[in-house]
Amino acid sequence: MQAISKSFGGIPALSEASLEVMPAEIMALVGQNGAGKSTMIKILNGAYVRDSGTIEFDGGPWTAGSPQQAQRAGISTIFQEINLIGYRSVAENIFLGREPRRAFGLLDWKKINDEAAALLARFDVRVDVRAPLEHFSTAIQQMVAIARAVSFAAKLVIMDEPTSSLDEAEVDVLLRTVRQLKAEGVSVLFVSHKFDELYAVCDRVTIMRDGKTVAVTPMSDISKLQLVASMLGRELDEVAKKGATAFKGGTGNVGGELLAAKGIAIGHLVRDANLDVRRGEIVGLAGLLGSGRTETARAIFAADQRAAGDVTFDGAATRFKTPAEAIAAGMGYCSEDRKSQGIIPGMSVAENLTLALMPALTRSGLLDEAKQREVVERFIKEIGIKCAGPNQKIRELSGGNQQKVLLARWLCMNPKLLILDEPTRGIDVGAKAEIQSLIRRLASDGLGVLMISSELEEIVEGADRVFVLREGRTVAEFDHENLTEGDIMRAMAHDDAEDRRQAEGASTSA
Amino acid sequence: MRGWGISPSMAVVAVLIVLTLLGAWRYDGFLSEYNVQSVLRYNSMFALVALGMCFVIMTGGIDLSVGSVAAFSSVVAAHLSGYGLLAGLLGGLGAGLLAGTLNAVIVTRLKILPFIATLATMLAASGTALLLANNQSVSVSYETGFVDLGQGDLLSFMRPEWVDGDNAGVLGGILGFILSFPTPAFIALAAYIVAGIVIGHTAFGRHILASGGGTEASRLMGLPVDRAIFFAYVISGGTAGMAGVILAAQFGAGQPIEGIGWELFAIASVVVGGTLLTGGKGSIGGTLAGALLLGIIFTILNFENGMGWISLSAYWQSVVRGAFLFVVVVLQAKLSLRQEA
């Protein structure tokens, strides 16, 4: 794939990106959220049409009109969500859509079952192929999906985060299958955020950032740390704080403990997350995509139920069942998905700002509209929300101003803790600085802030303390003093060299 | 969506006026006091059902059970009408609320899709109505004043004699018209005014729209999403129940097999009035305008039939109505898609 470009509604998702996979090669594809990985995959397998660029496949120019066409030509895609039918048998799923038939169009069940069993045996999977697919573990279902892909005489198998819902033993089985594919001469494009897996099976790695291909290198030539630095686009030498963000002032005003979360676990995504926030403190939560940052935050806010772990908030152990209970206790949460989990697009600025506050604005059953207007106008002025007026529809506002409305939605309820998930994502530079200085101002007034951000700069400069999550576990805690982006990247990457240094440090000090 | 929650698209109102003028020009007696009042009297049932449907659709749901719930309520009301006007009224209303609560529980507690949940209730209510009615219509008591709920004119006792005299004039005509406004239309109008206030001026009303406009966003800001949806179905049951009471009172009998297709009429009224089928955006006033518009169109159909140019059997009329409602819903879906894009 050469010089592939694609934009959606004028916004470029890919600009001249390239990708190359050799026969029988396992190529890793990595990048942050929005780097363009999935767009690239979808162009390759025919789900999207490219704006420009050339693709060659199997010795000739190639354009897939649809995923089905790509599959017939030998490009199969396996998604993290298994795209099969749970109620039907394993064998049926493998042959779905091209079932072997006998005379009169009747299905040849014996052939279906025998061939399916033989196919799976190649990957060391021995199961009753007549049993419904849903009776088996996710890993087996994943194998069945792979077997299905291979049975199309696939020359290239694209795997999009195939291990995200597997446990460790299952991951091993899957990786063995990937190697088996390679041994049979099939190429694999492997998308994952788990570096150990990439190093375990991949020959080369393609790193994407901001819609471009920024590096292609043999896996053995790049350290985890270099990989992370390249993904995030940061320099490896320890960058000093440059003051590029608008988090001014310092940590003068930090009070006692406000929130403590211990041993949070939810499914496979969060296994052991630990963090705490003090009053008047901005705590950063860093981690790569898939590290469980958002899931941890949602569990604390009771948007999802945690499987294990203790949360202490405002001096009391809590077990909130709904966000409403968390809010009543003094929490607020701004989702990273502003569009579908933040704003109510069809409603006005005033309503979006006061929806949660409305019961408090009600007098003898009716909304006190004078009071509502007073609250709205106060926050529009205080936070500097740029809008035509309180009655303007929120969807007409810029991203930055929408975010300010969402912040005001919580601030008008006087929370003790605000959880901000990517508070400045997709927001232009000017509004970004305003939001950052607002967050700092709120913290110095005593609000506790838990801030999730993919921008290391924001975390390093903005947070008083930083927790780093990797694969659902808290792996590091840093203080603001002398913290560099390198420190955080090392923790995210699980850099072996760092481990060794620590081990040596421990042994010399012992 | 400010003010009184009334902002029907001007197009609906314009079409309403044009059709009224057309009817007045083409048919004798179209704007006569008698015709206007019988149109209002008859269509107030549909307006009520559409009102409840509007609440449900605003949350992003649908209530297919309204027709058979109205039939069920009409039977209950007819049975109880012998114990007094109030017994019949409360009985029918209560039957509707009960069915609505059943829908609400199935949708919000058991998390069954509204389409399926209300389809089941539709069958159950219809069956219960036939059981209670012993498979025939149940005549109401004419002694308790119950029938006035459907046949009466609430303010007629105030009507001075001179209004009906030869020298009544325009003023007399207007006064006479107001004072002979049918009781069911008063009930529907009152319900719409209350609903307009609830949607436009209470936290509950705003939460209903928020729940439909962004369910996950609403949950994350701690809004009582389930409670809003719950009461939307209860309200829809209540308005269907009230429509059933009026049905029994107007026709002097509980009608276990009435109500077929009412849900489509209600949905069409709501959609014509500018409420999005996906929820989140809606108008109470628009729904009223939509119900009136459909009422007038069907009245015109009737008049046209009466003039003898076309002669449609009742069956064919059903086909025409169905086709018309279908076109309306499809048009609205197309239009709103274009607005979104």
Q: Assign A401 to helix, strand or coil.
A: helix
Q: Which of A240, A122, A146 is nearest to A485 (CA)?
A: A240
Distance CA A400, CA A435 (A): 8
Looking at residue B83, its pLDDT comes to 93
Going across the sheet that includes A75-78, the strands are: A75-78, A156-160, A187-191, A26-30, A204-209, A212-218
Answer yes or no: do A356 and B221 touch at CB < 8 A. yes
Class of domain A257-509: alpha beta
pLDDT (mean) for A170-186:
86
As a dihedral over the C-alpha atoms of residue B2, residue B3, residue B4, residue B10, rounded to 10 degrees, the angle is: -70
- The answer to whether the beta carbons of residues B129 and B114 sit under 8 Å apart is no
* For chain B, percent of residues with pLDDT exceeding 90: 51
Distance CA A218, CA A222 (A): 7
Distance CA A207, CA A227 (A): 8
- The alpha carbon of residue B223 is apart from the nearest alpha carbon of chain A, in Å, by 6
Choice among A185-189, A194-198, B4-8, B250-254 with the minimum mean pLDDT: B4-8
Does residue A317 have a pLDDT over 60? yes
Amino acid identity, residue A225?
Answer: L
- The answer to whether the beta carbons of residues B49 and B247 sit under 8 Å apart is no
Does residue B76 have a pLDDT over 90? yes
> Where along chain B do its domains lie?
10-340
Looking at residue B6, its pLDDT comes to 40
The answer, yes or no, to whether ipTM is higher than 0.85 is no
CATH topology of domain B10-340: ABC transporter involved in vitamin B12 uptake, BtuC (1.10.3470)
Mean residue pLDDT of chain B comes to: 87
- The answer to whether the beta carbons of residues A187 and A195 sit under 8 Å apart is no
Looking at residue B122, its pLDDT comes to 96
pLDDT (mean) for B245-250:
95
Distance CA A207, CA A439 (A): 33
- The alpha carbon of residue A229 is apart from the nearest alpha carbon of chain B, in Å, by 34
Does residue B234 have a pLDDT over 90? yes
Q: Which of B2, B202, B214 sits opposite A344 (nearest CB)?
A: B214
- ∠ Cα A246 A383 A485 (to 5°): 20
pLDDT digits (tens, 9 = 90+) for B143-172: 888 988 888 888 777 777 776 666 767 777
Q: How confident is the model at residue B88 (pLDDT cuts 50, 70, 90)?
A: very high
pLDDT digits (tens, 9 = 90+) for A50-72: 888 888 888 888 887 888 888 88
Q: Which residues of B touch A347 (CB under 8 A)?
A: 209-210, 213, 280
**Residue the block writes with tokens 């002669």:** B311
Contacts of B30 (CB under 8 A, 6+ apart): B23, B24, B299, B303
Q: Which of B287, B311, B292 is nearest to B301 (CA)?
A: B311
- ∠ Cα B225 B228 B231 (to 5°): 145
- ∠ Cα A172 A186 A217 (to 5°): 75
Distance of CA B273 to the CA centre of its chain: 13
Q: Which of residues 89-118 of B touch A (CB under 8 A)?
A: none
Answer yes or no: do A356 and B216 touch at CB < 8 A. no
**Residue the block writes with tokens 């002097």:** B252
Answer yes or no: do B280 and A333 touch at CB < 8 A. no
Looking at residue A73, its pLDDT comes to 85
Answer yes or no: do A327 and B221 touch at CB < 8 A. yes
Distance CA A312, CA A321 (A): 14
Higher-confidence residue: A427 or B244?
B244
Cα maximum dimension of chain A: 83
Q: Which residues of A touch B213 (CB under 8 A)?
A: 344-347
Does residue A236 have a pLDDT over 80? no
Looking at residue B339, its pLDDT comes to 54
Q: Which of A346, A347, A367 sits opposite B203 (nearest CB)?
A: A367
Residue A364 token pair: 């003898």
pLDDT (mean) for A369-385:
91
Q: Where are the CATH 3.40.50.300 domain residues in chain A?
A: 2-222, 257-509
Mean residue pLDDT of chain A comes to: 84
Distance CA B68, CA A121 (A): 57
Looking at residue A324, its pLDDT comes to 92
- Look at the alpha carbons of A51, A57, A60, A63 in this order and tell me if their dihedral is positive or negative: negative
Distance CA A407, CA A327 (A): 14
pLDDT (mean) for B219-243:
95
Q: Which of B216, B222, B276 sits opposite A340 (nearest CB)?
A: B216
- The answer to whether the beta carbons of residues A282 and A449 sit under 8 Å apart is yes
pLDDT digits (tens, 9 = 90+) for B97-148: 999 999 999 999 999 999 999 999 999 999 999 999 998 999 988 888 898 8
Looking at residue A10, its pLDDT comes to 67
Q: Which of B214, B217, B222 sits opposite A324 (nearest CB)?
A: B222
CATH topology of domain A2-222: Rossmann fold (3.40.50)
Choice among A46-50, B68-72, B264-268 with the minimum mean pLDDT: A46-50
Distance CA A332, CA B11 (A): 42
Higher-confidence residue: B237 or A178?
B237
Bridge partners of A264?
A273
SS3 per residue for chain B: CCCCCCCCCHHHHHHHHHHHHHHHHHCCCCCCHHHHHHHHHHHHHHHHHHHHHHHHHHCCCCCCCHHHHHHHHHHHHHHHHHHCHHHHHHHHHHHHHHHHHHHHHHHHHCCCCHHHHHHHHHHHHHHHHHHHHCCCCEECCCCCCCCHHHHCECCHHHCCHHHHCCCCHHHHHHHHHHHCCEHHHHHHHHHHHHHHHHHHHCHHHHHHHHHHHCHHHHHHCCCCHHHHHHHHHHHHHHHHHHHHHHHHHHHCEECCCCCCCHHHHHHHHHHHCCCCCCCCCCCHHHHHHHHHHHHHHHHHHHHHHHHCCCCCCHHHHHHHHHHHHHHHHHHHHHHHHHHHC
Looking at residue B181, its pLDDT comes to 84
**Residue the block writes with tokens 């209903």:** B208
Higher-confidence residue: A425 or A240?
A425
Q: Which of B179, B153, B151, B143 is nearest to B246 (CA)?
A: B151
Q: Which of A336, A339, A344, A395 to mutate to test the interface with B (most CBs of B within 10 A)?
A: A344
What is the helix (H) or strand (E) element at residue A119, kind and residue range?
helix A109-121
| Cβ atoms < 10 Å from Cβ of A252 | 7
Q: Which residues of A touch B218 (CB under 8 A)?
A: 344, 355
Q: Assign A213 to helix, strand or coil.
A: strand
- The answer to whether the beta carbons of residues B108 and B226 sit under 8 Å apart is yes
Classify burial at B157, counting beta carbons within 10 Å of its beta carbon; exposed 0-12, middle 13-18, buried 19 or more.
Answer: exposed
- Look at the alpha carbons of B47, B51, B56, B58 in this order and tell me if their dihedral is positive or negative: positive
From residue A430, give the alpha-carbon distance in Å to each of A342, A390, A395, A398, A439.
21, 22, 19, 12, 15
pLDDT digits (tens, 9 = 90+) for A93-147: 888 877 777 777 787 888 888 888 888 887 777 788 888 888 887 778 888 888 8
Tally of CA atoms within 13 A in the half-sphere of A264 that contains its CB: 31
Classify burial at B170, counting beta carbons within 10 Å of its beta carbon; exposed 0-12, middle 13-18, buried 19 or more.
Answer: exposed
Q: Are strands A270-278 and A362-363 parallel, antiparallel or unpaired?
A: unpaired
